[in-house]
């Protein structure tokens, strides 16, 4: 009798945990958050906390904070982009260059460089917002006891949002880099659902 009761309890808690896990992905239960001084709205799962003014999303578990998304925003200045050697000819030129920069950097024993774009996927979310999802070929150079070790991997995604996808204005462009060292498969699914709810706030 005791073993039957124990099996019942285990089954009950397993079902309960599965239901709670499924509820995390039910975006109809999420709260809408207004970010970056009222520039955009986005639905956020209950396991995330939002610093609204800068659009930083993080979750806290056992006293440890993780930051799955790294936000980066900037304006394009018509006629010249000081980060590019030549003026970009298209919107895609510009955002692809910015995405590559997110994976470029030098350290004391290792450097990385965003070589080129592996994929640039244009998508439209449920609010009709047209956006881009980019993946970058990244090369790493590591210096170890006089040896140079080179590797190359695909990193991403980087999500890009701009109200009008052209180069003729200086509207704010939002970049969100999924940080692989700070996220797991659950975060990846949640982030995808979050951006499906993204909406610009019209004033």
| 47-99 pLDDT per residue, tens | 898 887 777 888 888 888 999 988 888 776 656 676 777 778 889 999 999 99
pTM of the model as a whole? 0.82
| 109-131 pLDDT per residue, tens | 889 999 999 999 999 999 999 99
Judged on CB neighbours under 10 Å (0-12, 13-18, 19+), 107 is exposed
Q: CA-CA distances (angstroms) from residue 106 to 75, 103, 112, 137, 144?
A: 25, 10, 6, 17, 15
Helix, strand or coil for residue 101?
helix
Residue 41 has pLDDT above 90, yes or no: yes
């Amino acid at each position: 009798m005791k073993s039957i009761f124990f099996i019942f309890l285990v089954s009950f808690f397993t079902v309960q945990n599965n239901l709670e896990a499924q509820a995390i992905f039910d975006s109809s239960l999420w709260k809408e958050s207004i970010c970056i001084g009222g520039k955009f709205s986005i639905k956020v799962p209950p396991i995330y906390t939002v610093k609204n003014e800068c659009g930083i999303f993080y979750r806290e578990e056992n006293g440890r904070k993780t930051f799955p998304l790294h936000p980066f925003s900037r304006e394009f200045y018509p006629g010249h982009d000081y980060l590019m050697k030549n003026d970009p000819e298209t919107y895609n030129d510009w955002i692809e260059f910015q995405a590559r920069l997110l994976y470029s950097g030098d350290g004391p024993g290792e450097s990385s460089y965003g070589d080129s774009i592996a994929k640039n996927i244009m998508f439209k979310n449920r609010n009709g917002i047209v956006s881009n999802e980019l993946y970058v070929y990244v090369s790493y150079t590591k210096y170890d006891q006089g040896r140079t070790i080179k590797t190359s991997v695909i990193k991403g995604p980087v999500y890009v949002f701009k109200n009008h996808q052209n180069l003729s204005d200086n509207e704010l462009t939002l970049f969100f880099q999924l940080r692989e060292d700070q996220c797991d498969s659950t975060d990846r699914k949640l982030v995808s659902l979050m951006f499906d709810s993204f909406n610009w706030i019209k004033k």
